[in-house]
Structure 1
């Protein structure tokens, strides 16, 4: 007897911590709370392109163009999250793994209209998708009756012309569940029925504990579980201040608190390039800085969970800290998705982004940062995420426990 397929469709054909976690967290949650659904279903990891990131403990992916012909009206397509509304083929193509120099050149040329059009055509050829705007599935290109679910997604429709906006709105209106992860996205989709819930990755503290990390992040667990450190992460394109100033703030925090700083790459996809910046930063403060590279998903997660504080430009770095009740400061007010997510789901003073100097002042005494309200908020957020997961399970054929 054929099992119903549940296709977990997302932007995880490149290595980027949050994107790669989303389908794993989805399936692990269902295994824990809805095992009957898992037993009666076939789960498929799919993205734009085929990929094998198993060395980072991330799932292999099958191109969605290869998956669609095998689907039936009994199946489901889950857009598993991320800033996917309305990411274009060319934008996603620019985040694929390649030489940094080449990608920097492509990104610069993409600002020119003529080249942008050519890049878009090439991306459509290189990454064939049955519809435009890859992570907004077109129901007309799928079997009638197939369930489409948007799983705590982010994004907007602002850049679309009137005709294309009407088309994309029609696609979204035909979804079975459209859950968004922040009020910013909800406001952008005004007039389209949505559900608001924190990003699904927030549920990690309900799924992964120290026993898990001792097995799945053994080296990091063994090396750093007794260290006193805080985490700093940033990508070159998103760090708003010069590297010398940042190095001095990090050194001051370490000296005032008697700890070290873990320079932690989270964004590995093209266009993020955290490791390039953090290696340079370590050379400026070697006496107080750890640096680890080529980390797996679970190693990144453990290092944040075990830290005194997280500072960074990564949304899912902050979400990991928030989930485990770790103090966190978003860096750079211009990163709207991070600033607005923290405003919706965290507590003061962690509920907004700051510049590096202000973070240095706030982190002068790490022991004085509030913890009880943060822990309580994390528990409440997890309850909301669970409600959303359970509603998806109900739709897919399994009620809540």
Structure 2
């Protein structure tokens, strides 16, 4: 299970690397939404919901990624074809449900990349592994939705998180887990190669959303005026083409701004799209600059100097595993960061980190596979049914509590209504205040309902 229904470099590498360690298994790669990924992965990807409704599996495995805060509708908007999305947006409520059921199956999906085994009777006893997952954004998820996500997580047999921030969150939730480097580090072991030390190419990757939020001009200025970058050719790197990710059109706009400052600068855009071709391009670079976590991870695998622009999950991951190379970098600090990354002292400090992390990630997934194969399905079924019962009791208590709150609000509303009739002729200021108070109660009641 993973986000490989769309063009996103890191998610596609998750699948490739996971399959490298599941060679003895009959693997079905699925995603929340079906997609023809023949161009990038040589296969079509089915929707996991329909599969779990109709077929029985021994094990369910989430390959990794920042799954904690990703909602179903966010994934839906990024993944389905534009024609389906347009039809969905114009549809009625009942028609929207029909569209989702036709794409994903009829079982509601609470989290797009964490299947709930007990939601599918045929697979209620299948093992669930969450490997290399990130939950950095989970504390910002609304309470009710977060409780639902954590109920899913508690069905997992093994959880491996990839950074200290996610680990702190799980510890606070009282959920057992391990902390290990991202699985994609193992690319250093499965695809070994020497870095090209004399390369004159700097790879730069910036998403559309980031450029819109922080400004094309600011990034163009930082890249074009950097003295430390002046000796090198700049190549823009497309890590993914899903909505909000990267695009050649945005890079063309950025290049136009840069050429106003440095007309003679050698700049181009990478045309590579298949995930392992992108890996080779990073391995051959002089320097990596970007927002892609897996761009940084692949760079470290081949000892390529690297700079990460500011992004919460990147900051958390870099601080955990790769602290010597610059991260949390804004455009105004880019030139200093380039000088730091290419400094021989920094390069010496970070040399070999990639290989060390690769071995740690390899040990982690091998342990996960061993646990998966050795787990007892009967014990797992008993544990899951007990968890579902605890969840049912919690929801019943929560509903009773909210029923009480609604009853209190209704009485308050009735009292306010009775006073209102007497105050309609009150002076203007008092009358307005009364109406404001009434509206406030009505709004609170609507929220509770």
2:154 aligned residue (173, 185, 188): 173
Q: 1:86 to 1:123 in 2, by over 3 A?
A: farther
Q: Are 2:362 and 1:383 equivalent residues in the alignment?
A: no
The residue number in structure 1 matching 2:277 is: 299
Q: Note the alpha carbon deviations across 1:64-108, whole angstroms, 9 max, x for none.
A: 1232145446x11001111112422211011126559x98x99xx
Q: Identify which range, 20-29 or 360-369, moves more after superposition.
A: 360-369
Q: Note the alpha carbon deviations across 1:298-326, whole angstroms, 9 max, x for none.
A: 22111111111111111111121122221
The residue number in structure 2 matching 1:262 is: 235
1:363 aligned residue (338, 343, 347): 338
Q: 1:294 to 1:126 in 2, by over 3 A?
A: farther
Report SS of the residue matched to 2:66: strand
Report SS of the residue matched to 1:150: strand
CA contact (8 A) 1:236 1:274 kept: yes
Q: Are 2:65 and 1:85 equivalent residues in the alignment?
A: no
Q: 1:265 to 1:133 in 2, by over 3 A?
A: same
Q: Matched residues in 1 for 2:60 and 2:70: separation?
A: 18
Deviation at 1:58, TM superposition (A): 5.7
The residue number in structure 1 matching 2:33 is: 49
CA contact (8 A) 2:203 2:285 kept: yes
Deviation at 1:159, TM superposition (A): 1.9
Q: 1:256 to 1:67 in 2, by over 3 A?
A: closer
- Correspondences of 1:237-248 after superposition (within 5 Å): 237-239=209-211, 241-248=214-221
Q: Matched residues in 2 for 1:288 and 1:367: separation?
A: 20
Report SS of the residue matched to 1:45: coil
Any stretches of 5+ residues in structure 2 without a counterpart?
Answer: 375-449
The residue number in structure 2 matching 1:159 is: 141
Count of matched residue pairs? 359
Q: Note the alpha carbon deviations across 1:158-213, whole angstroms, 9 max, x for none.
A: 42434x544432332221111111122222222111111111112111111349x9
CA contact (8 A) 1:56 1:296 kept: yes
Q: 1:173 to 1:204 in 2, by over 3 A?
A: same
Q: Matched residues in 2 for 1:329 and 1:157: separation?
A: 27
Report SS of the residue matched to 2:104: coil
CA contact (8 A) 2:272 2:278 kept: no
CA contact (8 A) 1:20 1:59 kept: no
CA contact (8 A) 2:341 2:347 kept: no
Report SS of the residue matched to 1:48: coil
Any stretches of 5+ residues in structure 1 without a counterpart?
Answer: 1-8, 32-37, 110-114, 214-223
Report SS of the residue matched to 2:79: coil
Judging by fraction of residues, say which structure has more strand.
1
Q: Note the alpha carbon deviations across 1:206-257, whole angstroms, 9 max, x for none.
A: 111349x9xxxxxxxxxx9974111101012113543233223323447755
Q: 1:63 to 1:328 in 2, by over 3 A?
A: same
Q: Are 2:182 and 1:209 equivalent residues in the alignment?
A: no
- Correspondences of 1:274-289 after superposition (within 5 Å): 274-283=247-256, 284-285=258-259, 287-289=265-267
Q: Identify which range, 86-95 or 358-367, moves more after superposition.
A: 358-367
The residue number in structure 2 matching 1:338 is: 314
Q: Identify which range, 304-313 or 170-179, moves more after superposition.
A: 170-179
TM-score of the two chains, using structure 1 as the length reference = 0.79
TM-score of the two chains, using structure 2 as the length reference = 0.71
Report SS of the residue matched to 1:290: strand
The residue number in structure 2 matching 1:394 is: 370
Q: 1:252 to 1:48 in 2, by over 3 A?
A: same
Q: Matched residues in 1 for 2:95 and 2:268: separation?
A: 39
2:201 aligned residue (221, 224, 229): 229
Q: Matched residues in 1 for 2:61 and 2:18: separation?
A: 10
Q: 1:268 to 1:56 in 2, by over 3 A?
A: same
1:149 aligned residue (129, 135, 139): 129
Report SS of the residue matched to 2:300: helix
Q: Identify which range, 244-253 or 42-51, moves more after superposition.
A: 244-253
